[in-house]
Structure 1
Amino acid sequence: MPRSEQRTMRSRAENREYRIFIAVPEGEAPPSGFPVVYVLDANSVFGTMVEAVRVQSRAPERTGVIPAIVVGIGYPTDGPFHPARHYDFTREIRLEDLPFKLRAGERPEHGGAEAFMAFIEDELKPRIEETYPVDRRRQTIFGHSLGGLFVLHMLYAKPEAFQCYVAGSPSIHWNKQVLLEEERAFASKLSASAGESTGETADIKLFLAIGELEKSHHTGGGENAAELCERLSALSEYGMVTEFKEFEGEGHVSVLPPLISRAVRFALRPEPADRQV
């Protein structure tokens, strides 16, 4: 792809191998640097995300999308997905507690979300920031399915890591009870911070989305996401913006292209003039 490259990185803590995809916009970076969109499952969606940003950002005054660096976090495979994603995107749970039955012989490795968060925050982001002109005030993380679940884990555990979170068709059913506990702690933290003497509020945006056809799935993905949006929308008084979109006629996989297009417009809106550097 134009103006893109790949690198291999290994996490220090667990020596897990990642294929990192990077695409940089044409032209000179603004004084504040380029926004960055970090994309999970990059083997499957990096190209779609890069093209969405590249095409829509050609005329920001008409599209409402500004140029951005896209960083994809993938795996050493030529396939669209890799089994390691189950480990990286989930918290530790008892598989017997899942609200559905695993297929015969299916017991995926899981529970690595903490280590994966540390890799992103302590290793990958510093590497990107020392190599490319990055606007640290405008960083987005995008994930779909199990990747969407991880985005929610990251939001709750490290809300300051990104300013924009995009969770498409999040597999909430994998870690539902853990996620509810994290959500309650996150809400309490936002409330407490807003109540302190500084009066500061959060600067966090969350875009949740599903495909219309997911509403009938036995895992309850559509219902889980809609209910989550309703709960998190109550945090708007603390500075959090939450949006929800159901894509008509789309299923769990086919939702990806329209989701990416909408996510780009959500995350990369031009800033007001008084915030530009």
Structure 2
Amino acid sequence: MKRFLTILGLVMSTVTHADTSYPPYSLPGTQLRALPATEQGRRYQLHVHLPASFAREPQRRYPVLYVTDAYWDFATFVGSYGNLVYDRVVPEFIIVGLGYAGEQPDYDALRLWDLSPVRLADQQGESGHADQFLATLKQVVFPLVERDYRADPAQRYLAGSSLGGLFALHVMYAAPELFKGYIAASPAVVAGGDWIIGRAKAYAATGKPLNARLYVTGAEHEWPGFLAGIQRYQALLPELKQPGLVFQSRIIDGERHAGTKAESYTRGMRFVFEPLALAHGPARD
């Protein structure tokens, strides 16, 4: 797992520096919000994308999709969002990317601390704090977004890849009242020895409903052991017969670990927002 995280960090951290004599391109309709440091000294930053109608419909409240690893994935979501809204296969919604403030933050170390729900054998002191991160979302991030951006607290959704996907699955079982839908792209199911599979079985054993939509993917050319964990979780879902849970699984053909993101996120947004899209009328031909 440690080697996998190191390799992923090297890939994601590669930056090509453009000629500074030209102005940088920014994503229209987006904002950055650096948050005050938490009591634990954690410094978070929100990447916010607002719908086209946000300014002209000041009384309207919107669904909101929270996205982990915003420093890598926020632009991918925003890029697909406009196409999906144009096709009327999703409603207008707010995208809030979860990231880190400060100068040159160490994304690999920071996300390992926040997104892993269980301590990893090779990262004992630096992992396993997902519940603390979830508490920050509930106590700090949700109130801010729902106050300043008119986000509908009854229509929250959560998405992430790898450890972010594992975090999404963890939240689904730990606090099922918080979100209506989840996108877990190549989730790190193998973390903690398939810990999340045990968590899924334990939740199902309670008999409680799980009223949510879940889209979970893997990549055809993932690391074999990593993909096997995802497939074990995907195979478990229909066996559990979890009341209320509507799910769809997919293996993205021809892709490796990070290559799942574009297709997983696009199809995932369509799937989790499908009920709301239907309520807003037929798709555009």
- TM-score, reference length from structure 1: 0.81
- Equivalent of 1:73 in 93, 98, 121: 98
Instruction: Between 205-214 and 133-142, report the one with greater CA deviation.
Output: 133-142
Give the aligned partner of residue 48 of structure 1: 76
Give the aligned partner of residue 4 of structure 1: 30
Q: Distance in 2 between matches of 1:221 and 1:94?
A: 15
1:213 counterpart SS class = coil
Give the aligned partner of residue 83 of structure 1: 109
The amino acid of 2:63's aligned partner reads: P
Instruction: Between 250-259 and 51-60, report the one with greater CA deviation.
Output: 51-60
Query: 2:114–2:130: 8 Å Cα contact kept in structure 1?
Result: yes
Give the aligned partner of residue 66 of structure 2: 38
Residues 159-197 of structure 1, C-alpha deviation per residue, up to 9 Å, x if partnerless?
1110101111111122235323322222123x1x3xxxx
Query: 1:90–1:175: 8 Å Cα contact kept in structure 2?
Result: no
Equivalent residues, number = 250
2:119 counterpart SS class = coil
What is the alpha-carbon root mean square deviation over aligned residues? 2.5
Q: Distance in 1 between matches of 2:267 and 2:58?
A: 24
The amino acid of 2:40's aligned partner reads: E
Give the aligned partner of residue 209 of structure 1: 217
**In the alignment, is residue 223 of structure 1 matched against residue 251 of structure 2?**
no
Give the aligned partner of residue 262 of structure 2: 257
Instruction: Pick closer, same or farther for the CA change 1:29–1:52 going to 2, 3 Å.
Output: farther
Give the aligned partner of residue 17 of structure 2: none
Give the aligned partner of residue 45 of structure 2: 19
**In the alignment, is residue 112 of structure 1 matched against residue 129 of structure 2?**
yes
**In the alignment, is residue 139 of structure 1 matched against residue 156 of structure 2?**
yes
Give the aligned partner of residue 197 of structure 1: none
User: Offset of 1:268 from its aligned partner?
Assistant: 2.4
Give the aligned partner of residue 247 of structure 2: 242
Give the aligned partner of residue 154 of structure 1: 171
User: Offset of 1:82 from its aligned partner?
Assistant: 3.7
Residues 15-47 of structure 1, C-alpha deviation per residue, up to 9 Å, x if partnerless?
201111001001155976211110000000101
1:95 counterpart SS class = coil
Residues 138-175 of structure 1, C-alpha deviation per residue, up to 9 Å, x if partnerless?
22111101111111111111111101011111111222
**In the alignment, is residue 125 of structure 1 matched against residue 153 of structure 2?**
no
Q: Distance in 2 between matches of 1:32 and 1:203?
A: 25
Q: Distance in 2 between matches of 1:82 and 1:10?
A: 21
The amino acid of 1:209's aligned partner reads: T
- TM-score, reference length from structure 2: 0.79
Instruction: Pick closer, same or farther for the CA change 1:52–1:158 going to 2, 3 Å.
Output: same
2:200 counterpart SS class = helix
User: Offset of 1:136 from its aligned partner?
Assistant: 2.7
Q: Distance in 1 between matches of 2:126 and 2:136?
A: 18
User: Offset of 1:270 from its aligned partner?
Assistant: 5.0
Query: 2:70–2:97: 8 Å Cα contact kept in structure 1?
Result: yes
Q: Distance in 2 between matches of 1:237 and 1:52?
A: 30
Q: What residue ranges of structure 1 are gaps of 5+ in the alignment?
A: 97-105, 194-200
Instruction: Pick closer, same or farther for the CA change 1:258–1:143 going to 2, 3 Å.
Output: same
Q: Percent of aligned pairs with the same residue?
A: 27
User: Offset of 1:50 from its aligned partner?
Assistant: 1.1
Residues 106-152 of structure 1, C-alpha deviation per residue, up to 9 Å, x if partnerless?
87711211100101122101110111122333221111011111111
Residues 75-100 of structure 1, C-alpha deviation per residue, up to 9 Å, x if partnerless?
2366894421011111343515xxxx
1:254 counterpart SS class = helix
